[in-house]
Structure 1
Amino acid sequence: MRSPANPSRMTPAPGFRTVALIIASAMFMEQLDGTILATALPSMAESFDVSPLHMSVALTSYMLSLAVFIPASGAIADRYGSRNVFRAAIAIFTLGSILCGLSGNLPLLVLSRLLQGMGGAMMVPVGRLVLLRSVPKSELVSAMSWLLVPALIGPVVGPPLGGFIVTWVSWRWIFYINVPIGIAGMWLATKYVPDVRIAERQRFDRVGFVLSGISLSCLVFGLELASRGDTSGLGSVGLIVGGLIVGAVYVWHSKRVANPILDLSLMRFPTFRLSVIAGSLTRITAGSVPFLLPLMMQLGFGFSAAHSGVVTFVSALGAMLMKATAAPVLRMWGFRATLVWNGVLSMVCVALCAAFRPDWPLWTIYTVLLLSGFFQSLQFSAYNTVAYADVPSERFSSATSFYTTFQQLMLSLGICVAAAALHVSVTWNGHAHAQLPDFSVAFLVVTFVSLIAAPVCLLLPKNAGAEMSGHRAR
């Protein structure tokens, strides 16, 4: 069905919770894949006969594909319908998973991960767009909780399941398990997901899509090469500079078209702008922790993949426990106070990971990771919701594409920053391989970057997003 020309007049569909759970199932598949892969990186590195630090390209290649194709997600969903695009995205992601499992070397795995990313680039933003257009702002916090809670099962199940698969079966099955989930997701999307699209088709910004894709891909791979430190510095610098130049050309182009693929004018809305800036800084840490923690447990502590998975899953469990408290916390304190103080608490917990040592009692490590997952999950729930507080509903499509692009780019940057910090520390200390002090340095570096977000959040008005949270500033 076609949505009305004015999406702001839409009322919540009776089955919007059902739709949210179906969309969350796709997010579950994506999150499960990512967390399992992080746990399996050392075993995959051994299989491909490469350094474990070089396996970061398996994570960044996927995020690169997300960054390139997410900008087009809103326009494609408007043109072809959210149900068709969502279903096709699941199919592409599932096919990419099969090819990842069949990969015999790292380059083939990277190509397969790029295909996976094409599917993932449409699944999450299109699903979020359906909810944004179906739920009034006053119910958006609850709707996002319905969307995010099932998706968080992926990070909870991922590490221990990945450890079990790598230890007792083969790392290839971390990709094959996506196949039945993908088939079920396509069937459920066909039956329940509404075919939401705008009545008036807008011209697709092909030039902007090419420019943004070239710019983002050059930036991500330039940073990836720089973080590994095993290639000529001239190559990585050239890619980064080229990406910035093409990005500047895109900015010039975006001001001269009616519907740019990434609408920079959205940054005029204060809550959207501040959520993008502060959220980007915070996501550098969020992207680095799933990369650093399993490697630290396996290379630094000497844990097996299964053992490290059992330890690291606790942070995702903390994220799940938080979801029941998001609405009352935001109602009591509002978005600004929550983002400032909760952001500091979450970064303190991440910084404590730098002090982890094998002689620590396991219950203390579990406590730190549980609190870290709790506070970080609250932080991102607040960011993801307040971003749309001032955005008119007719611009949700472009806002979702823009916001999700930067979200994924910063997650990718987090992996690059963490890998770079590890490499510099290993080289500086003359270590043959990454050791515990090197991981400590990496954790402190990414924590420092994200702490900068706290003063940015102070710029939010006291009543920011009051319609969503129900908070009234005194």
Structure 2
Amino acid sequence: MTSPIDPDIKAARVTAIVLAAAMFMVGLDSTVLVTALPRMARDFGVPPTSLSSSITIYLLVSTALMPMSSWIGQQFGPRRIFAGAIVGFTLASIGCGLAPSLPALLIARALQAAFASMMVPVGNLVLLKITPKSYLVAAMAISSTPSLIAPVVGPPIGGFITTVLDWPWVFFINAPIGLIGVIAARRYIPRLPAAPRIPFDFRGFAITACALCALIVGLDRLGGHGADWRVGGAILALGVVLTLLAGRHARRAAHPIVPLGPMRHPCFFTATIGAGTFVRIAFTAHGFVLPLMLQIGLGLSPFQAGLLLLATNGGDLVLKPVCGKALRRWGFRSMLVSGAVLLAGSLAACALLGPAIPFAGLFAILFVVGMCRSTLFTALMTLRFADMPPAELGGAQVLGNLVNSMGQATAISGAALLLNLLSPGLHAPDLGAFRIAMLVLAAIAAAGAPLFARLSRNAGAEVTGRIVVESDAMGQME
């Protein structure tokens, strides 16, 4: 006879599934668009390169508005804001599909980004508040799975829809997903009370938003091939100055829009600011470099490269069900140290890829590469909140999301800059440049291992359910 499921765990599981659906919708929308850009440019009567603004404006708006997501969710009720954000994102997606011109599309994309900036962070806030710490690893594994699937299935789905139907349907497919998501959110996600009213930090929001936009634009200009590095450097320097001003304001304000308090907790600092930064930058940059290496360096077709990326994500997914057991058995410190070493080794192995390796061999290698990173990033996402008091979850969510966004921008722009430096005067880097880039990324990932080793042996034990070993307990008694 099976024991009944804990109601709190059941609620957390359902919430994680609803959040996973929302994250899949947002992730899919970001990737299906790429394959539709040429057709959209033809219909709008503009050069295809002009459509890059539809991607840039989404990134800028979502990043700039992200700091206010926690304040809005806590002041007006997280479930209400989460469900409202799904509705808004869905309607904005329909507006994108109906857009008669490029300016109209950009307005609709900006609205999409505004609602997306609230949807995922507020959904994560609900999940963190209602999930028992013993179930947090499993809940995070459920909610994070779409972020692995959407980037792989997005381009082929977008290409199929654009070819068989037309580009507006790339946006219209969000309508049924959004409808199901909002019904599920209203029915299954528990209602949480709004937090006590606190004033909105308009000054902090303005400085932080401007700083983030300047940093992203500056990094993008530095990474662009043939771009004037002086312009990018000047914008980046402005972003750094604004960031320092934002940090000064956060330390002095009574209710800062981006609180710095969560950084005093060792688990959060290690996962978000410290060692976690190294492995996330290496991982994100690898996701940018590998598709280019497969097509430009190895001469594979886009379809073949897509299948190999599917192998990488498949290897990651296959180990997700055992992440909780592994963390319970060995703990965060051991799994993160070994995970950083495995990630570094897998990136170094990618540097050995060459055209002489048969496709089946490439598939097997990249499947193992995906497996090497699986437990590492599940542990990293969970460790961030392992020692976080409930009252600080909102601020930690905001700070963590901002660091993630800047890490992604730094990784992609840095990888592009590195490839440009390794291929001066060439239109595209050669295989040797890609191999050097992979080795550099492997070194960055390896730098995280000694920093993870500084964690306490029983860091996050309450989250994993790992029992404190007897020798540690005796040491604490002494």
TM-score range, shorter chain: 0.7 to 0.9
What are the residue-to-residue correspondences of 1:405-444 with 2, within 5 Å? Answer: 405-427=402-424, 430-444=425-439
Output the CA distance in 1 between the equivalents of 2:442 and 2:381: 20
What are the residue-to-residue correspondences of 1:425-464 with 2, within 5 Å? Answer: 425-427=422-424, 430-464=425-459
What letter matches 1:76 in structure 2?
I
Alpha-carbon contact 2:77-2:195 (below 8 Å) kept: no
Output the CA distance in 1 between the equivalents of 2:433 and 2:94: 35
Cα distance, 1:169 vs. partner?
A: 6.3
Aligned residues: 460
Cα distance, 1:456 vs. partner?
A: 1.4
Output the CA distance in 1 between the equivalents of 2:96 and 2:444: 33
Which of 186, 192, 202 does residue 188 from structure 2 map onto?
192
Which of 198, 203, 209 does residue 213 from structure 1 map onto?
209
Q: Find the counterpart in structure 2 of residue 124 from structure 1.
A: 120
Percent sequence identity is: 35
Is residue 159 of structure 2 the alignment partner of residue 140 of structure 1? no
The change in CA–CA distance for 1:279 and 1:35 in structure 2 (over 3 A counts) is: farther
Output the CA distance in 2 between the equivalents of 1:181 and 1:332: 38
Is residue 363 of structure 2 the alignment partner of residue 366 of structure 1? yes
Is residue 453 of structure 2 the alignment partner of residue 470 of structure 1? no
Deviations 1:381-414 (A, max 9, x none): 1111111122111111111111122112212221
Which of 249, 257, 281 does residue 253 from structure 1 map onto?
249
What letter matches 2:119 in structure 1?
M
Deviations 1:89-121 (A, max 9, x none): 223433554566678999987776554332322
Is residue 292 of structure 2 the alignment partner of residue 295 of structure 1? yes
Is residue 381 of structure 2 the alignment partner of residue 388 of structure 1? no
* Larger CA deviation: 315-324 vs 197-206: 197-206
* Larger CA deviation: 241-250 vs 101-110: 101-110
Q: Give the secondary structure class of the aligned counterpart of 2:186.
A: helix
Q: Find the counterpart in structure 2 of residue 76 from structure 1.
A: 72
Deviations 1:362-395 (A, max 9, x none): 2222223222222323212111111112211111
Cα distance, 1:261 vs. partner?
A: 1.2
Q: Find the counterpart in structure 2 of residue 18 from structure 1.
A: 14
What letter matches 1:467 in structure 2?
E
Alpha-carbon contact 2:148-2:313 (below 8 Å) kept: yes
What are the residue-to-residue correspondences of 1:151-166 with 2, within 5 Å? Answer: 152-162=148-158, 164-165=160-161
Is residue 218 of structure 2 the alignment partner of residue 222 of structure 1? yes
Is residue 28 of structure 2 the alignment partner of residue 32 of structure 1? yes
What letter matches 1:408 in structure 2?
S
Q: Find the counterpart in structure 2 of residue 327 from structure 1.
A: 324
Which of 376, 381, 405 does residue 379 from structure 1 map onto?
376
Output the CA distance in 1 between the equivalents of 2:218 and 2:458: 40
Cα distance, 1:247 vs. partner?
A: 1.1
Output the CA distance in 2 between the equivalents of 1:288 and 1:61: 21
Q: Give the secondary structure class of the aligned counterpart of 1:454.
A: helix
What letter matches 2:14 in structure 1?
T
Cα distance, 1:188 vs. partner?
A: 2.3
Output the CA distance in 2 between the equivalents of 1:131 and 1:302: 44
Structure 2, unaligned runs of 5 or more: 1-5, 472-478
Q: Find the counterpart in structure 2 of residue 281 from structure 1.
A: 278
Higher relative CO (Cα under 8 Å, sequence separation at least 6) belongs to 1
Q: Give the secondary structure class of the aligned counterpart of 2:423.
A: helix
Cα distance, 1:42 vs. partner?
A: 9.4
Output the CA distance in 1 between the equivalents of 2:356 and 2:329: 40
What letter matches 1:275 in structure 2?
A
Cα distance, 1:290 vs. partner?
A: 3.2
Alpha-carbon contact 1:43-1:166 (below 8 Å) kept: no
The change in CA–CA distance for 1:80 and 1:59 in structure 2 (over 3 A counts) is: same
Cα distance, 1:279 vs. partner?
A: 1.8
Q: Find the counterpart in structure 1 of residue 3 from structure 2.
A: none
Is residue 347 of structure 2 the alignment partner of residue 356 of structure 1? no
Q: Find the counterpart in structure 2 of residue 177 from structure 1.
A: 173
Q: Give the secondary structure class of the aligned counterpart of 1:463.
A: coil
The change in CA–CA distance for 1:59 and 1:375 in structure 2 (over 3 A counts) is: farther
What letter matches 2:292 in structure 1?
L
Alpha-carbon contact 1:344-1:451 (below 8 Å) kept: yes
The change in CA–CA distance for 1:315 and 1:119 in structure 2 (over 3 A counts) is: farther
Deviations 1:408-449 (A, max 9, x none): 22122211112212222232xx32334433333333333332
Deviations 1:319-361 (A, max 9, x none): 2112111011101111011101111112221232233333321
TM-score if structure 2 supplies the norm length? 0.86
Alpha-carbon contact 1:94-1:179 (below 8 Å) kept: yes
Q: Find the counterpart in structure 2 of residue 237 from structure 1.
A: 233
Deviations 1:198-218 (A, max 9, x none): 341222211111111111110
Alpha-carbon contact 1:322-1:375 (below 8 Å) kept: no
Q: Find the counterpart in structure 2 of residue 308 from structure 1.
A: 305
* Larger CA deviation: 355-364 vs 324-333: 355-364
Alpha-carbon contact 1:63-1:412 (below 8 Å) kept: no
Alpha-carbon contact 2:27-2:146 (below 8 Å) kept: no
TM-score if structure 1 supplies the norm length? 0.86
Cα distance, 1:19 vs. partner?
A: 1.8
Q: Give the secondary structure class of the aligned counterpart of 1:15.
A: helix
The change in CA–CA distance for 1:254 and 1:46 in structure 2 (over 3 A counts) is: same
What letter matches 2:219 in structure 1?
L
Alpha-carbon contact 1:286-1:411 (below 8 Å) kept: no
Is residue 336 of structure 2 the alignment partner of residue 339 of structure 1? yes
Note the aligned Cα RMSD (angstroms): 3.1
Q: Give the secondary structure class of the aligned counterpart of 1:459.
A: coil
* Larger CA deviation: 382-391 vs 305-314: 305-314
* Larger CA deviation: 265-274 vs 26-35: 26-35
Alpha-carbon contact 2:343-2:442 (below 8 Å) kept: no
Q: Find the counterpart in structure 2 of residue 7 from structure 1.
A: none
Alpha-carbon contact 1:287-1:414 (below 8 Å) kept: yes
Deviations 1:16-71 (A, max 9, x none): 32222111101111233345456x499689977567xx998766654443332222
Deviations 1:203-251 (A, max 9, x none): 2211111111111110111000010043332221111111111111111
Alpha-carbon contact 1:279-1:407 (below 8 Å) kept: no
